[in-house]
Copies of this chain bind each other. A is one copy, B any other.
Amino acid sequence: MFYTDNKLQYPVRVDAPNPLFARALQQAIGGVEGEIRVAMQYFFQACGARGNPKFRDMLMNTAAEELGHIEMLATAVALNLEGAPLSLQEEAAKDSAVNAIMGGLNLKNLLSSGLSAMPVDSDGVPFDMSHIYASGNIAADMTANIAAESTGRTLAVRLYNMTDDAGMKDMLQYLIARDTMHQNQWMAALEELGGATGAFPIPNSHPQSEEKAEFSYAYLGFQADGSEPAEGRWSQGASIDGKGEFTIQPMAPLGQVPDLGKAKPKSGAQSEQM
C-alpha cells in the first residue's frame, strides 16, 4: 500500500527555463532508462518475489523512492517549459530563434499536455511497459536492475553535462548520487545471492549436467574466413562463474540444411509450393 505527502523528495529549482532542456528531461521520465521504468520494474519485481521476503520489501521500498523521482522530474519539465512560445506569429516566421525553440520541442508537451510533463521520452515516444523486466528469478532481476541503473546514471550524467542551470545541476547531482547507490544496491543484493560464483549461471537451479558442456565456456568464432575472433578475458582463463575454463574456437555448422518440405493444401500457399 502506498502513501504520499505534498512535498518533493529533493528541491527542484529552475533558474532559467529552457524548453529544449524540458524535452531532454523527458528522457529521464519516459525513456527506457528513465524513472517510470525503474519505479515500475522494482514494483513488479516486488509483487512477484518468491523466497526470502526481505527482497520483496527492499524492492518495494526503492520503488517508492523512484516514484518520487518521477514527480521531481515532472516538476522540472513543467518549470522548464515556462516561457515556451505558444504561437507562430508571422513575425516569428522570420525569426529563426523562436522557430528553433518551437521546432525543437516535443510538440505534444504543448499540444497534448499544455506545458506539462508526459510519460514519453525525449522524442515524444510513449513509454512501453514491456520494458519492465520482472522475471520471477531474483538474481536475473538484480542483473536487470544493475543494467537499468547503469544506463540511468549515464543518462543523468549526459543531462548534467547538457545544462548550465544551477538549479537543474543541483537536482541532477542528487539523482546521480542515487544512481550510484542503486548500482551498488543491486550488486550488493546479487552478492548476497551468491555473487558471480554462487548465482551464475542464472538460473542456478538448473543442473549444468543438462547442458551441452562442450559449448558452455567456449568463445565461438563466426569470422567469415574461419579465423579466430578477437581475444580477451573471455577467451582464456577460468570462467567468471568459476565453473569452467574459457576456450576459443571457430565454429562450423553442425546442423542440417533446413527443409520444411511442401506447403500443406488449403494453407494459403501458392500451388507451386505444394
- List, sorted by A's number, 30 A–B pairs whose CB atoms are closer than 8 Å: A2-B4, A5-B253, A8-B255, A20-B88, A44-B74, A47-B75, A48-B78, A48-B117, A50-B261, A53-B259, A54-B230, A62-B222, A86-B158, A86-B162, A107-B123, A114-B137, A115-B136, A116-B134, A123-B123, A135-B150, A138-B272, A144-B147, A144-B150, A153-B201, A157-B268, A160-B210, A183-B200, A184-B246, A188-B234, A188-B240
Number of chain A residues close to chain B: CB under 8 A: 197
Q: Is the CB of B129 within 8 A of A151?
A: no
Q: Tell me, yes or no, whether A38 is within 8 Å of chain B by CB.
A: no
CB neighbours (8 Å) of A67 from chain B are: 2, 43, 67
CB neighbours (8 Å) of A119 from chain B are: 40, 44, 129-130, 132
Q: Is the CB of B216 within 8 A of A181?
A: yes
Contact of A144 among B90, B151, B191, B259 (CB under 8 A): B151
Copies of this chain held together in the complex: 6
New A-B contacts (18) at CB < 8 Å, excluding given A20-B88, A24-B107, A193-B270: A1-B71, A2-B64, A3-B223, A6-B257, A10-B254, A33-B135, A36-B40, A44-B113, A48-B117, A112-B121, A133-B151, A143-B150, A147-B147, A157-B268, A181-B217, A184-B217, A187-B241, A192-B234
Most buried by B among A231, A240, A267, A270: A270
Q: Is the CB of B96 within 8 A of A257?
A: no
CB neighbours (8 Å) of A18 from chain B are: 88, 93
A213 to B223, CA, bound (A): 30
**Shortest Cβ gap from A126 to chain B (Å):** 4
CB neighbours (8 Å) of A23 from chain B are: 103, 107
**Shortest Cβ gap from A135 to chain B (Å):** 5
